[in-house]
Amino acid sequence: MSSKNKDKDLQQPQILELDDDFSLIKRFIDGDESAFRILVQRHKEKVRNIIYLTLNNSEVIDDLAQEVFITVYRNLKNFRFESQFTTWLYRITVNKCKDYLRKKNVRKIFTPLKEADDKLEFDNSVEKKDISRIVMDAIQKLPYKLRVPLLLKDIEGFSYQEIAETMNIELGTVKSRIFRAREGLKEILKPLEAELR
Amino acid sequence: MNKKDKKDHEQLSAYIDGELSPDEKQRMEEKINSSLNLQKKLTDLKKIKSLTSSSYKGINESPYFETRLFAELASRKPFLKRIKKWMPAIVFAFAAIVLMIVLKADPHIIDNLIEKQKTNIAGFYKENLKPLLFAADLSNEDIFNFAMYRKLPLDKENNQYLELGYDTTGNQYFEIKKIAEDNNQNNYQKFIAALELNEKQKEKIDSIIKEYADELNSQILVNENNTVAINANLWDYQKALLTDLMIFAETSNRKKFREMVPHSVSFTNNSDLFDVVHKFRKKKSKSYIILTPDSIFSEDLDVNTDEIKNQLKELQITLEGDTNKIKSFSIKINYDSTWQKLGDKVKWNSNFKISVDTNRCRVDLSGFFDNKNSFNTDSLNAMLDSLTKNFKSFSMVIPKIEHFDNKIKFYFDGDSSKSFEFKYQEFDIDSLMEAQRRMLDSLPKLNWKEFYFEGDSLLSEKFPRFKDYFKEFEYKEDIREQMRELREELRKFREEMRKWQEELRRQKKQKTEEVSFN
């Protein structure tokens, strides 16, 4: 760096742009709609991933993600700044997924039995799938309450504390559920142990 | 797997996730080193974690995600914002529903509200109604003119009058109008002079007028809100006053009275008249026709005449010498747009028909009175009609006329300013007549009827002779038409005569030829 540039930097100190989540939320509350666009750009992929991992259905990702951000948009002015924005955002995402599954289960009750069975059928043929697909399908066989903490931990890299806040459960419960999810997954994958080696 | 093992395995799972505290981590590592079972379990859990972590390949980005999201947000504006543009329609619909519910619950609510409103407005206009007699400071002359011409001044300064009348079918009407100039002055004094009344008789006739004036107090009420309240009995009351005055006049000086009235009119020969007058005066009516700038309606008013008399006395004492204050009570009716609108506004009221033009407001009461008196007044009505139409001689002063060779002089007793002379030799009668003929000839192409000058009372008031001129002109038009027809007939007659003469000549000639031939 030349001495000339150095002087310039000293004379005009760079003002740090406050673009962390809280600053963006404050800007949005003050009427700056563009701040919300930045928040969406920043967090949309994480939200889409959580939805996909939770539901294992690529068709509904964007629709549900849109619902998540619309909910955020409508409620952002009431954000209390007591927890991280991401914690609040992921909780909304997880709840949207939970709602989706609940509605789907209700629909399943009223779906003709044959059609429902076809959808439930799990394809165990290894030849057609790679290992990743096999593992992902196996994870989907876990109950929702075990599956989601496991995915948030192993794929999204959430801490136990973040998972507890996102799912609104105790820290000990998170630890227990992740362990049980791993045990369950081991059992599901046991018949395919040879292929997975 | 016992409970302790399960606890250890849970801790082991947390261990590989890096979620143990340093102490817990140290204890766990010690346990792992000392237990083959835990070492095997650790390997299994690590393998599972490795499979899970590596199984997810991620999802494709959605390039239009934001575009779709913000489009969706724009269309999903908050409920209130979205309905904002429909708000007027929603409010209107809501109001309609409320109105329907209210009307269902009480179908007469609107009628009641209107009635209440009408009562409120009526109350406003009825407030502070004062007798006209006080407000307009009426004199004996005014009361006398009321008797003779059914006309009372409402506001002398502005020449506004109340006039009562009967239409062609005999139904009552009244007019509030502006008279351009009142030429009918001092009628009362002229009447007294014409009857050659002595002092005692003058006092008597004054007392008759005073008596009626007191009773008139409660019959015409006015206030500063441009309201006029007229007692329904007023028309009969005027007849009673006139009849009483005429009875007195006839009894006071029969000879002079006979010179003034048509031959058939006599008030003293008919004893029933006293009875009729008495009944008219005693017929008290509470019903008033109340004319306001907003509406016209009739209502019963309780007017306490004694109280009014006392109030008048008190006010007269208070205001004695201060005529300006008295004037402030005079009613001022402006024939502006407010009054013009009134005519249309009250058309729905079948009892009253209002017509307003530039100079007057006329209210026809054909639907208001049933015109059925309990006593027969036909002979009185006929007599009063005849009297008021022809009773004018007392107000005319005939000038003395002197003839000279080339002029005529007109003299009015004691008033040289009104005398004038007419020098007729200065006029060229022939050229004057020729000029008049030319003027009339220049007019026939215009259709004067189209102008309808007679319709407006102001024109008649301002130019009383115009009406006569119009009629005269119409008459001349008729004559001209008849003359034209006559000329046509004469032309035809001449033509026939000519033909007939020719025929005669032809026959005569033929005869002559026949004779010569023979």
Q: What is the pLDDT of residues B214-266, one digit of tens each?
A: 778 778 887 777 788 888 888 888 888 888 888 888 888 888 887 777 777 77
- Whether residue A6 is predicted with pLDDT greater than 50 in this model: the reply is no
- Residue pair B407/B423 in contact (Cβ under 8 Å)? The answer is yes
| Chain Cα centroid distance, residue B396 | 37
How far does A193 lie from chain B, in Å, by closest CA? Answer: 11
Mutate to test the interface with B, among A57, A175, A188 (most CBs of B within 10 A): A175
Q: Does A69 touch chain B (CB under 8 A)?
A: yes
- Dihedrals phi, psi of B248, to nearest 5 degrees: -65, -45
List the one residue out of A30, A95, A44, A40 whose CA is nearest residue A73. A40
B80 vs A contacts (CB less than 8 Å): none
Q: Is A131 on the interface with B (CB under 8 A)?
A: yes
- B42 CA: distance to closest CA in chain A (Å): 12
Q: Please determine, for residue A157, whether its predicted confidence score (pLDDT) is greater than 70.
A: yes
Q: Please tell me the predicted confidence (pLDDT) of residue B215.
A: 78
Mind listing the pLDDT tens digit for each residue in B412-452? 655 555 566 666 655 565 666 666 666 666 555 555 555 54
Domain boundary pick from A92, A112, A132: A112
Confidence of residue B95 (pLDDT cuts 50, 70, 90): very high
Residue A107 sits in the same domain as residue A170 = no
Number of domains in chain A: 2
* Residue B81 forms contact with A (CB below 8 Å): no
Closest-CA distance, B56 to chain A, in angstroms, reads 7
**In CATH, what number is assigned to the domain containing residue A46?**
1.10.1740.10
Asked whether the beta carbons of residue A182 and residue B48 sit closer than 8 angstroms, the reply is yes
Contacts of B416 (CB under 8 A, 6+ apart): none
Question: What mean pLDDT value characterizes chain A?
Answer: 80
Residue A144: inside a domain: yes
Q: Is the pLDDT of residue A4 over 70?
A: no
Contacts (Cβ under 8 Å, ≥6 apart) of B334: none
pLDDT of residue B463: 61
Do A89 and A147 reside in the same domain of the chain? no
What is the pLDDT at residue A47?
A: 92
CA terminus-to-terminus distance, chain B: 181
- Residue A53 placed within a domain: yes
Strand partners, B403: B408
Residue B398 confidence class, pLDDT cut points 50, 70, 90: low
Task: Judge if A178 and A140 occupy the same domain.
Answer: yes
For residue A130, is it within any domain?
Answer: yes
DSSP character for B17? T
Contact check, Cβ <8 Å, A136/B78: no
Least confident of A24-33, B236-245, B363-372: B363-372
**Any domain includes A71:** yes
pLDDT tens figures, B281-337: 777 777 888 887 777 777 777 777 677 677 767 766 665 555 554 444 444 555 444
- Chain B residue with minimal CA distance to A71? B73
In a domain, A183, yes or no: yes
Q: Where are the beta strands (DSSP E) in B346-482?
A: 353-356, 360-364, 400-403, 407-411, 420-423
Output the pLDDT for position B360. Answer: 73
Residue B174: C-alpha distances to residues A20, B318, B460 (Å): 89, 34, 18
Of the residues A112, A133, A158, the one at which a domain ends: A112
Q: Is A10 inside any structural domain?
A: no
- Which among A69, A176, A185 has CB closest to B69? A69
Helix (H, G, I), strand (E, B) or coil at B24: helix
* pLDDT tens-place string over residues A54-63: 888 888 899 9
Report pLDDT digits (tens) over B22-56.
999 999 999 999 988 889 999 999 999 998 888 88
In a domain, A162, yes or no: yes
pLDDT for res A10: 47
Burial B395-408 (b: 16+ CB within 10 A, else e): beeeeeeeeeeeee
Q: Would the CB atoms of B69 and A70 count as touching at under 8 Å?
A: yes
Number of C-beta neighbours around residue B5 at 10 A = 13
Q: Cα(B201)–Cα(B208) distance, rounded to whole angstroms?
A: 11
What domain range is A139 assigned to?
A: 122-197
Q: Are A68 and A90 in contact (CB under 8 A)?
A: no
Lowest mean pLDDT among A180-194, B139-153, B161-175, B360-374: B360-374
**Has residue B198 got a pLDDT over 70?**
yes
Residues B474 and B446 sit within 8 Å (Cβ to Cβ): no
Res. B343: pLDDT tops 70: no
Of B19, B51, B65, Cβ closest to residue A44: B65
Banded pLDDT at B512 (limits 50, 70, 90): confident
A117 pLDDT above the threshold of 50:
no
Gyration radius from chain B CA atoms: 50
Give the pLDDT band of residue B94 (cuts 50, 70, 90). very high
CA dist., res. A26 & res. A81, Å (int): 10
Q: Are residues A99 and A126 in the same domain?
A: no
User: Which stretch of A84-93, A116-125, A131-140, B505-514 has the lowest confidence by average pLDDT?
Assistant: A116-125
Within 8 A of B17 by CB-CB distance, chain A residues are 153, 160, 178
Q: Mean pLDDT lowest for which of A120-129, B253-262, B488-497?
A: A120-129
Same domain? For A141 and A194 the reply is: yes
Q: What is the DSSP string of B202-247?
A: HHHHHHHHHHHHHHHTTTEEEETTTEEEEETTHHHHHHHHHHHHHH
Residues of A in contact with B62 (CB under 8 A): 48, 61-62, 65
Distance (Å, whole) CA B37 – CA B35: 5
Q: Is residue A87 within 8 Å of residue A166, measured between CB atoms?
A: yes
Residue A14 confidence (pLDDT): 41
The answer to whether A119 and A26 are in contact (CB under 8 A) is no
Question: Smallest Cα–Cα separation from B224: which of B293, B297, B301?
Answer: B293
DSSP string, B304-372: -HHHHHHHHHHHHHHTTT-HHHHHTT------SHHHHHHHHHTTT-TT-EEEE-SSEEEEE-TTT----
Does residue B13 have a pLDDT over 90? yes
Q: Which of B208, B36, B223, B53 is nearest to B128 (CA)?
A: B223
Q: Which of residues A78, A112, A146 is at a domain's end?
A: A112
**Cα dist from A187 to A184, B3, B10, B44, whole Å:** 5, 19, 16, 11
User: Do A159 and A107 lie in a common domain?
Assistant: no
Looking at residues A101-120, what average pLDDT do you find?
63
Residue A28 and residue A106 in one domain: yes
Show the tokens assigned to B80: 């209130």
Taking the Cβ of residue A84 and every Cβ of chain B, the question of whether any pair is shorter than 8 Å is answered with no
Three-state secondary structure call for residue B151: strand
For residues A72 and A127, state if they share a domain: no
Q: Supply the pLDDT for residue A181.
A: 94
pLDDT of A180 above 90: yes
Does the CB of B76 have a partner CB in chain A at under 8 Å?
A: yes
Residues A99 and A137 placed together within one structural domain of the fold: no
Q: Is A22 on the interface with B (CB under 8 A)?
A: no
Give burial (CB, 10 Å; 0-12/13-18/19+) of A140. Answer: middle
Q: Is the per-residue pLDDT at A108 higher than 80?
A: no
Residues 6+ apart with CB under 8 A from B252: B195, B197, B201, B204, B205
Number of H helices, E strands in chain B: 21, 13
Q: Is residue A4 part of a domain?
A: no
Q: What one-character DSSP code corresponds to residue B374?
A: S
Of B447, B505, B432, B512, nearest in space to B477 by CA = B447
Quick check: helix, strand or coil at residue A157? coil
In angstroms, how far is CA B84 from the centroid of its own chain? 44
Taking alpha carbons only, the member of B212, B149, B200, B208 closest to residue B384 is B149
Whether A153 has its CB under 8 Å from any CB of chain B: the answer is yes
Instruction: Say which CATH number the domain at A173 has.
Output: 1.10.10.10
Which chain A residue lies closest to B77 (C-alpha atoms)? A74
CB-based contact A66 B72, cutoff 8 Å: yes
Q: Do A106 and A167 share a domain, yes or no? A: no
